[in-house]
Amino acid sequence: MAILTFIGAGQMASGLTFPAFENGHEIRLVGTPLDRKIIDRLRQDNYHLTLDRTLHDGIHYYQVEEMEKAIEGADVIIGGVSSFGVDWFADEVLPKLHKNVPVITVTKGMIDEPDGNMVDFPDYWQSTKAGKDLNLNAIGGPCTARELSDHDQTWVAFCGRDKDTLHKLKAIFSTPYYHISLSNDVKGVELSVALKNGYAMAVSLTIGLTEKNEGIGKVHHNSEAALFGQSVTEMQKLLKLAGVRDESLVFGVGDLYVTISGGRSRRIGVLLGRGYSYDEAKEKLKGETLEAVVIATRTARAVRAMAERGKADLKDFPLLLHVDEVINNGKPVNIPWQATEAEYFE
Amino acid sequence: MAILTFIGAGQMASGLTFPAFENGHEIRLVGTPLDRKIIDRLRQDNYHLTLDRTLHDGIHYYQVEEMEKAIEGADVIIGGVSSFGVDWFADEVLPKLHKNVPVITVTKGMIDEPDGNMVDFPDYWQSTKAGKDLNLNAIGGPCTARELSDHDQTWVAFCGRDKDTLHKLKAIFSTPYYHISLSNDVKGVELSVALKNGYAMAVSLTIGLTEKNEGIGKVHHNSEAALFGQSVTEMQKLLKLAGVRDESLVFGVGDLYVTISGGRSRRIGVLLGRGYSYDEAKEKLKGETLEAVVIATRTARAVRAMAERGKADLKDFPLLLHVDEVINNGKPVNIPWQATEAEYFE
C-alpha cells in the first residue's frame, strides 16, 4: 500500500483515483484554488461536480491550504493541473516536493520557444530551479476521465527517464481496465499527445462544415478521414522535427481519435466549421479557455519560427496554419484541400 | 479528353466515374461476370444497384463479353475488381492490355508468401507474365464510394513507379473534391491500406463488446481509441517489417478511420464483439465474403511465418493474432488487453 497525493482535483486526476483506490492505496486528493467547490462537495458525499461521478468512499480530500499536510509521507505525487496551471504547479507545488518521491503528471500541452523548439511540460518543469532534481514522469494517451471512472478499457503510456520508477508507477495504477505502456521517450509521448488537441479541432472543422451545408447531424466520413489522415501526416512531421521516436506517434493518434469523439476541442472545431467566428464560438462555449486553441497557436508559431530558420517547410503544415489563421486572424474556415495533396517520391 | 476504360463495375470503380466524367473524359464502364445485373440496370437509367447512386448520363456501359471493344483506343485502364477478383484480373484482363497504356487499380489487399513476405497486388500482377511489362499503378487511402459519388471531400494517394504517369493520372482525376497525393512507395501505400481492413474489424470488436455488456447503441470511446492506437502500433510494425517508408502509414491510418465508421469490416467485428461466433456472424451478413477476414488471416499467417524465421516477434501483434484465433479457430472474443501493454526503452 502506497500513499498517493493527487494535486489538482480536476476530472482527469479524479478519474485516476479509481484504479489507484481499487488497488488498495491511500488516496489524498488536493484541490487547486480553482477546485474549492469540487472539494467542498466531495467532502459531503464523494460526488465530483465536473466529472459527474461519485468517487470511492475513503478518499481523503484537502483544500489547497492543506497541501503540505497531504504531501507529508506521500510515496508518489500525481500532478493533476490543466495546461493553464503549469506555472502554478511550478511555483506552488514543485518547491514543496522531495526529490526522492516520484511525480507523475496528467497535464497535456507544450511550450514553444522563440527558435521554434517545442518543450513538453516534464522537461519544462525539470528546467526550473525547484524541479531540476525531481523525478518527473507523465501520462499520455487516449483516456477520457469519465470513461476511466466507468471502468471502460483504457490504454495509456507512462513516460519518464527512469525505468524502475516507471515499473513502480505502473504497479500502483495497473488494473484489469487501465493498461499502461512504458516509454522513456518523454518528449515524444508528451508532444504527440499535446499536438493532437489542435488537430482534433482541425478535423472537427469538417464535421461542422458538413452540418453547415447539409444540416445538423449529417455526417460525411470521407472528409473526416481525410483531415484525420492529414493531421497524422502533420503530427508525424512535427515529431520528426522534434527529433523524437516515431513509435511515440501512436499515443497521439489514439488520443486524436478519442478527442474527436467528444469534448471541447471537437465542439469548438464544429462551431467554427458551421460558420461561427472564433469569438462567437468561444461565446457559445461560455467563454471557456480552450487548450486546443492554445496548442494550435503555439504549434503554428513554432513551425513558423522553424521555417524562418530553414528547419521546417510551411508547405508541410497547411491544416495547422489554416486553423491558426481562423482562430488568430479571423479568417473564415476554408479547408486548404489542395495543399494537402503531397508528393512522396524517393 | 482521354478515353478511360474501367474494368469492374463495383462500387469503388463506379464512384470514381464521378470525378473522371466531370473532368470531361470519355468513360467506358465494363462489368465483370459478377456485374451483369449492374450493367443491365445502368443501361436502363444510369442507376447503380449496389452503389445506390445514379451515374452521370453519357457513360458507356459494357458487359464482360464486350471488354475488348471497350479497351480499344483507351488511354488509361482503371482496374475495379475486388480482392477476390485479383486472379481473374490477372488471367482475363492483363493479357488484353497494351504496355504503353497505364493501368490504375482500386483493389485493396495483400498476398502472403510462405516465408511471410507480404506482396501487394500491383507487385503481384507485375510478377505475372502478362503483367510484367505493364505500367501498373494503384489507389489507396480513405474513400468510401458513396461519399465520393456525393462529392464529399476525399483524400487518396495514387502510387506507382513512374512519376510522369502519376502526374498524368492525377490530372485526369483531380477535382475540387477529389484530392490526390502521389507516392512511388507502392508497397508501402498498398500494404498500409490493405492491413487496415483486418484492424477495422479488430477495433470494432470492442464496439460490439460494449453493446453486449451495456446494450445496443451504447458507446465507449476509451476502449475504441485503445484498439485504434494498438492497431496503428501493429500496422507501423508490419510496415517496418516490410521495409517500406513510414510516411505511407498515414494513408492506412486514414483508411482505418473511415472503415471503422461503416461497412462490412465494422459489421463483422461488432457482431463478433457482441458474442456471435464467426459462423453466426457470417450468416447474419448473409454469407458475404469478407475482405477483412481474408486480410487478417493472411497477415497473421505472414507474421507467424516471419516469427518462425526469427524476423518478427509474435508479442508485437497481440490484436492481430487474437482476431485470427477468433475467426479461424473459434475462440471467443477476449481482447488481450494486457498484451497491448508494451515497453519502449532505448
Residue of A nearest to B335 (CA): A153
Rounded to a whole number of angstroms, the distance from the CA of B160 to the nearest CA of chain A is 10
Q: Please determine, for residue B288, whether its predicted confidence score (pLDDT) is greater than 90.
A: no
Mean pLDDT value across residues B187-192: 98
Per-residue pLDDT tens digits for A133-162: 999 999 999 999 999 999 999 999 999 999
Checking DSSP bridges between strand A154-159 and strand A136-140, what pairing results, if any? antiparallel
Contact yes or no for A97/A71 (Cβ under 8 A): yes
Shortest distance, CA A258 to any CA of chain B (angstroms): 5
Per CB-CB distance under 8 Å, the chain A contacts of B224 are 257-258, 261
Beta strands in B80-164 (DSSP E): 103-105, 110-112, 118-120, 136-140, 154-159
Cβ-based burial of A329 (10 A; exposed 0-12, middle 13-18, buried ≥19):
exposed
Which ipTM was obtained for this model? 0.97
A196 among known catalytic residues: yes
Q: How confident is the model over A70-96, as pLDDT tens digits?
A: 999 999 999 999 999 999 999 999 999
Q: Which of B154, B206, B257 sits opposite A153 (nearest CB)?
A: B206
Using one digit for the tens of pLDDT, what is the confidence trace for A11-37? 999 999 999 999 999 999 999 999 999
Secondary structure (3-state) at A117? coil
Task: State yes or no: A20 annotated in a binding site.
Answer: no
Give the model's pLDDT for residue A342: 97
- Output the nine-digit C-alpha cell for B171: 490530372
Cross-chain CB nearest to A253 (options B179, B253, B261): B253
Chain A interface mutation, best of B143, B181, B187, B222, highest count of A Cβ atoms under 10 Å: B222
Pick the catalytic residue from B196, B284, B311, B331.
Answer: B196
- Nearest 5°: the CA angle B70, B126, B154 is 65
Instruction: Decide if A183 and B345 are in contact by the 8 Å CB cutoff.
Output: yes
Contacts of A168 in chain B (CB under 8 A): none
Are B179 and A337 a contacting pair at CB < 8 A?
yes
pLDDT for B249: 97
* B253 contacts A142? CB cut-off 8 A: no
CA distances from A87 to A95, A103, A111, A131 (A): 12, 16, 11, 12
Indicate yes or no: CB of B154 within 8 angstroms of CB of A223.
yes
pLDDT score of B307: 98
Q: Which of A193, A250, A333, A338 to probe by mutation at the B interface, max B CB count within 10 Å?
A: A250
Q: Is the pLDDT of residue A288 over 80?
A: no
Q: Note the pLDDT tens digit of each residue in B131-143.
A: 999 999 999 999 9
Average pLDDT, chain B: 97
Please provide the size of chain B in residues: 346
Asked if the Cβ–Cβ distance from A344 to B248 is below 8 Å, we say yes
Question: pLDDT of B213-252, one tens digit each?
Answer: 999 989 999 999 999 999 999 999 999 999 999 999 999 9
pLDDT at A48 over 90: yes
Question: In chain B, which residues have their Cβ closer than 8 Å to the Cβ of A147?
Answer: 220-223
Q: Which residues of B91-109 are buried (b: 16+ CB within 10 A; e: fewer)?
A: ebbbeebeeebbbbbbbbb
A247 closest CB neighbour out of B179, B258, B344: B344
The chain B residue lying nearest A229, using CA atoms, is B254
**Non-local CB neighbours of B270 within 8 Å, separated by 6+ positions:** B204, B205, B207, B208, B211
Per-residue confidence at B332, pLDDT binned at 50, 70, 90? very high
pLDDT at B28: 98
For residue A238, is pLDDT > 90?
yes
Calculate mean pLDDT across residues B191-204: 97
- Measure the CA–CA gap between B268 and B292, rounded to whole angstroms: 9
Q: Is the pLDDT reported for residue B290 higher than 90?
A: no
CB contact under 8 A, B253 and A344: no
CB spacing of A142 vs B250 below 8 angstroms: no
Tell me: pLDDT of A274 over 90. Answer: yes
Mark residue A310 as left, alpha or beta (left: phi above 0; alpha: psi -120 to 50; beta: remaining): left
B330 to chain A nearest CA, in Å?
A: 23
Four-residue CA torsion sign, B74, B80, B85, B87:
positive
Residue pairs spanning A and B at CB distance below 8 A? 213
Kindly indicate the confidence band of residue A262, based on its pLDDT and cuts at 50, 70 and 90.
confident
Domains contained in chain A, CATH given = 3-184 (3.40.50.720), 191-340 (1.10.1040.10)
Q: What is the mean pLDDT of residues A189-213?
A: 96
In the prediction, which pLDDT does A157 show? 98
Across the interface, whether the CB atoms of B342 and A176 are under 8 A apart is answered no
**CB-CB contact of A78 with A26 (8 Å):** no
Query: Which among A196, A218, A286, A331 is annotated as catalytic?
Result: A196
Amino acid at B322: H
- For residue A45, the distance in angstroms to the closest alpha carbon of chain B comes to 26
pLDDT grade for B264, boundaries at 50, 70 and 90:
confident
Q: How far apart are CA B237 and CA B233, in angstroms?
A: 6
B264 is known to lie in a ligand binding site: yes
Q: What is the pLDDT of residue B262?
A: 84
pLDDT > 80? residue B161: yes
User: How far A307 CA sits from the closest chain B CA (Å)?
Assistant: 21
**Residue A280 Cα, gap to closest chain B Cα (Å):** 26
Tens digit of each residue's pLDDT (9 = 90 or more) over B16-44: 999 999 999 999 999 999 999 999 999 99
Q: Please give the average per-residue pLDDT across A273-284, as a whole number.
A: 94
**Is the pLDDT assigned to residue A323 strictly greater than 90?**
yes
Mean per-residue pLDDT for A248-263? 94
Q: Which residue of A has its CA nearest to B262?
A: A221
* B70-115 pLDDT per residue, tens: 999 999 999 999 999 999 999 999 999 999 999 999 999 999 999 9
A250–B257 CB contact, under 8 Å: no
pLDDT at residue B289 greater than cutoff 80 = no
- Nearest Cβ partner of B153 from A222, A246, A346? A222
Q: Cβ separation of A233 and B248 shorter than 8 Å?
A: no
Q: Work out the mean pLDDT of chain A and round it to a whole number.
A: 97
Residue of A18, A153, A259 to mutate for B, most B C-beta atoms under 10 A:
A153
Q: What is the pLDDT of residue A278?
A: 94
